[in-house]
Structure 1
Amino acid sequence: MRLEKKVDVPVYDLSLIRGIWEVRVKKQRQKQKKEQERVEHSALARIEQQWQYRIYCKTLKTSERNQLHRYLERTSLTDVQPCTEAEQQDQTDQQDQKDPDQNKLIFQLNGDRWTDFPRELQWMTYLREWHVRGTKIRQLPDYLALFTQLTVLQIPQNAITELPPEIGKLTELRELNVSYNRLSRVPPELGNCENLERLELTGNHNLFELPFELSSLKQLVHLDIAENRFVSIPICALRMSSLQLLDLSNNCLTDLPQDMDRLEQLVTLFVHKNNLSYLPQCLTNVSTLKMIVVSGDQLTCIPTKLCSNPDIKFIRLYDNPANEEKMKKKQKKEEEEKKKEENKRRRWREAREEEVKDSREKEFIEAYVSSLQDRDTVPYSTTKVSISCLL
């Protein structure tokens, strides 16, 4: 008979162990976050970046260095010549007197000769504003996320096809203008820029929706999505509680939602050049509303309170009748010219067919005459026979 061996198995409360580890993980993450913030606010990163910039400038020619310096309007790093601490302090004091807001550094780039951002830009992570306009640049650089102090990103009238997800790391961003580019979508990561106050996406003709994640932009006061392909107001726009100006003009809207009164701070609304036939009654509940701009050609139903309220500027835009008559005359003239051209082509085809017919008869006569030369006698008459073969 085999003896049974007893084994003592300790029993632990797994939930207690899990709680202990969760607390440790949370503390470790907080520690890492504090360390990262300390490094970001530390002067060591700025000093290292400054020295890297100086070293890079030493490798450039004088003309290239001068061209690089023109990229900045105000910067404390354009002087690459060595100087003493006293001289550097004097220069800093002079700059403070000339420009009190010296931390507001601006990068500008204009002209269609630019197809990409300059290489030197990656060293200028201290910049606060980008102004890039009228270039042939198609995408933003990969190092965009390094510009954590960027507050203004103005990049209208370029050839940009998409915004990178890294744009969500620009948490200090206040203004973003990507008007008149070639965007077809907006990355959801843009919702992480919770300090954004102004967003302009005008004239991206392939843009027809905004991600729901943009609902977190509670500080946004200006939203311009005119001249696109929106068929309805984006849901995220109705959740931007601080919105004061909403421009939806020149889209494909057929109606407005019945809960637009959620925009309690809305002041100005542009909805002209759409296919609206009525305005919802809920707009009368927005007490802050001061201006509405609509197209009056198709609009048939308007709340009386909106029209009669003296505090609201209700503007109805109509197409110019003179322009309509001019367009009709132009179309009529084009149609007449088209008919004349068609008649001319038809007459040319008829003349061409007649010429072909005459040439065939001529060929027949020539062939007949040449055949008579081989005969001994010439017939007094002959019969013309036409033979057509149907294949």
Structure 2
Amino acid sequence: MTLERKVHVPAYDVLAVRSLWEVRVKKQQQRQRKEHERKERSALAKIEQQWQYRIYCKTASPPRTHHGTHAGDGEVDESSFLLAERPCGEDPDASDGDKKLVFQLDGRQWKDFPRELQWMTYLREWHVTSTQIQKLPDYLSSFTLLTVLDLPKNALTELPPDIGEMRLVVFLGVPTFNQAPSPGKLAALRELNVSFNRLRGVPAQLGDCQNLERLELAGNANLCQLPFELSALKKLRHLDVAQNNMASIPICALRMSNLQLLDLSHNRLSDLPQDMDRLQQLQTLLVHKNKLTYVPQCLANIPTLSMMVVSGEELVCIPTRLCSNPSIKFIRLYDSPASDKKEEEIHERGRGRGRWREEEEMMKDISEKEFMEVYVDTLKDREDVPYATTKVSISCLL
């Protein structure tokens, strides 16, 4: 006689197990988020920054400066490396009477950042100008207190993606979207200036720096578009993409609801989109030095628009409401044929030009841009503004 044993095989409901794990994962994410918020509210980080600042003041009471080193053959390198002290001014994160350290670097002899910079995470501003630096350091993302990143007239070819990288929780190989992603690494950044470099593109992660208020990308000849992710920059008020290679207005620019100044001059624009009236806060629009044939009627629907600068002999259609509206300073620039011919000749032999020629043209573009900015500023307080302004250029053959 054989005995039959009953084997009890447990039966599991896969959906119940999955829901149980999802609940546990959600609780774990909530605990992580609360811990992250607790650390952000904690005063430990601020105390550490204050101690780092005091240590610096003790060890280098005059501002630390390196300049005037000999480069050989009797030449003197005029490069400079300076840590300066400035009032925090309107910085909301600083207490009254507090001061911040500002990093300044300029000079053609600099090809990389000083090594000791990586430990100065208490800095609030970087000002790097006229160097040969081609790449930003990997430790840039650790400067979480950085509010101003001023990098014009260098040789930068790219911006690091982790400038605003958002962290996403991954569970069992599958990203979870229950938790809102944390802010970008440079979440405090308010101003970014990378004008007159060699950028070919802008990382999409820059859209994670949602406190950005001013973005300057002028003078990057190979820059032809911006990622759509920059639409998340809802606090951006100043966007400068002049002197680039853009054939159309970036779509992301039309999604920046608080934009007040848009500079698209010196590009290859042939038309303006019909939905530009989405920019209901726009005050200044600079679209001169393009290939525009008409100005859309929708611009007259922007109630805040007070300054518009266009140019070109090809313009055949301009809304009367823009020209005759006393609240809008409409300026049309007429470029002389001599200057146009000269620019075409420079463009044709652009591939064979040397470094000195590039620098000469860059300085010319900068001077023209500064002149235009001064000219526009002088017109802001005037009641009557000339409809047309003639730009005259004189060329001499020696």
Give the superposition deviation at 1:27.
2.1
Kindly provide the CA deviation profile for residues 302-324 of structure 1, in whole angstroms up to 9, marking residues without a partner as x: 11111121111110000136x56
- Quickly say closer, same or farther: Cα 1:101–1:117, change in 2 above 3 A: farther
1:25 aligned residue = 25
Amino acid in structure 1 at the alignment position of 2:141: A
Superposed, 1:310-321 pairs within 5 Å as 310-320=326-336
- Quickly say closer, same or farther: Cα 1:158–1:101, change in 2 above 3 A: farther
Residue 237 in structure 1 maps to residue 253 in structure 2: yes
Q: Any conservation in 2 of the 1:110–1:134 contact (CA below 8 Å)?
A: yes
Q: Using the TM superposition, name which of 42-51 and 256-265 deviates more.
A: 42-51
2:243 aligned residue = 227
- State the number of aligned residues: 302
Kindly provide the CA deviation profile for residues 225-257 of structure 1, in whole angstroms up to 9, marking residues without a partner as x: 000000000011111111111000000001111
Q: Any conservation in 2 of the 1:145–1:167 contact (CA below 8 Å)?
A: yes
1:89 aligned residue = none
Larger radius of gyration: 1
Give the superposition deviation at 1:39.
4.4
Q: Any conservation in 2 of the 1:270–1:294 contact (CA below 8 Å)?
A: yes
1:151 aligned residue = 147
Amino acid in structure 2 at the alignment position of 1:245: L
From the two aligned structures, give the one with the greater strand fraction: 2
Amino acid in structure 2 at the alignment position of 1:220: L
For residues 326 and 12 of structure 1, the distance between their equivalents in structure 2, rounded to whole angstroms, comes to 80
Given candidates 136, 142, 158, the residue that maps to 1:162 is: 158
1:74 aligned residue = 85
- Quickly say closer, same or farther: Cα 1:6–1:134, change in 2 above 3 A: same
Superposed, 1:77-116 pairs within 5 Å as 100-116=96-112
- Quickly say closer, same or farther: Cα 1:313–1:43, change in 2 above 3 A: same
1:355 aligned residue = none
Kindly provide the CA deviation profile for residues 17-71 of structure 1, in whole angstroms up to 9, marking residues without a partner as x: 323322221222232333345445452686499579969x99x9x9997759973
Secondary structure of the 1:130 match is strand
Amino acid in structure 1 at the alignment position of 2:29: R
- Quickly say closer, same or farther: Cα 1:273–1:9, change in 2 above 3 A: same
Gaps of 5+ in 1: 77-98, 331-391
Q: Any conservation in 1 of the 2:224–2:247 contact (CA below 8 Å)?
A: yes
- Quickly say closer, same or farther: Cα 1:128–1:18, change in 2 above 3 A: same
Kindly provide the CA deviation profile for residues 196-253 of structure 1, in whole angstroms up to 9, marking residues without a partner as x: 0100000000000101110100111110000000000001111111111100000000
Give the superposition deviation at 1:270.
0.6
For residues 12 and 254 of structure 2, the distance between their equivalents in structure 1, rounded to whole angstroms, comes to 51
Secondary structure of the 2:27 match is helix
Superposed, 1:343-382 pairs within 5 Å as none
Residue 137 in structure 1 maps to residue 148 in structure 2: no
Task: State, as a whole percentage, how many aligned pairs show the same letter.
Answer: 62
For residues 325 and 121 of structure 1, the distance between their equivalents in structure 2, rounded to whole angstroms, comes to 45
Given candidates 189, 192, 196, the residue that maps to 2:205 is: 189
TM-score by length of 1: 0.68
Secondary structure of the 1:29 match is helix
For residues 206 and 3 of structure 2, the distance between their equivalents in structure 1, rounded to whole angstroms, comes to 70
1:82 aligned residue = none
- Quickly say closer, same or farther: Cα 1:249–1:51, change in 2 above 3 A: closer
- Quickly say closer, same or farther: Cα 1:66–1:253, change in 2 above 3 A: closer
Residue 43 in structure 1 maps to residue 44 in structure 2: yes
Secondary structure of the 2:159 match is coil
Amino acid in structure 2 at the alignment position of 1:27: K
Q: Any conservation in 2 of the 1:188–1:212 contact (CA below 8 Å)?
A: yes
TM-score by length of 2: 0.67
Q: Any conservation in 1 of the 2:188–2:211 contact (CA below 8 Å)?
A: yes
1:252 aligned residue = 268
For residues 158 and 312 of structure 2, the distance between their equivalents in structure 1, rounded to whole angstroms, comes to 35
Q: Any conservation in 2 of the 1:103–1:128 contact (CA below 8 Å)?
A: no
RMSD: 3.5
- Quickly say closer, same or farther: Cα 1:3–1:297, change in 2 above 3 A: farther
For residues 116 and 50 of structure 1, the distance between their equivalents in structure 2, rounded to whole angstroms, comes to 28
- Quickly say closer, same or farther: Cα 1:291–1:49, change in 2 above 3 A: closer
For residues 120 and 36 of structure 1, the distance between their equivalents in structure 2, rounded to whole angstroms, comes to 29
For residues 291 and 64 of structure 1, the distance between their equivalents in structure 2, rounded to whole angstroms, comes to 42
For residues 319 and 283 of structure 1, the distance between their equivalents in structure 2, rounded to whole angstroms, comes to 23
Give the superposition deviation at 1:121.
0.7
1:93 aligned residue = none
For residues 263 and 251 of structure 1, the distance between their equivalents in structure 2, rounded to whole angstroms, comes to 20
Secondary structure of the 1:153 match is strand
Superposed, 1:121-136 pairs within 5 Å as 121-136=117-132
Secondary structure of the 1:74 match is strand
For residues 99 and 54 of structure 2, the distance between their equivalents in structure 1, rounded to whole angstroms, comes to 17
Secondary structure of the 2:98 match is coil
- Quickly say closer, same or farther: Cα 1:220–1:6, change in 2 above 3 A: same
Q: Using the TM superposition, name which of 17-26 and 303-312 deviates more.
A: 17-26
- Quickly say closer, same or farther: Cα 1:4–1:232, change in 2 above 3 A: farther
Give the superposition deviation at 1:102.
2.4
Secondary structure of the 1:266 match is coil
From the two aligned structures, give the one with the greater helix fraction: 1
Q: Any conservation in 1 of the 2:86–2:101 contact (CA below 8 Å)?
A: yes
For residues 229 and 193 of structure 2, the distance between their equivalents in structure 1, rounded to whole angstroms, comes to 18
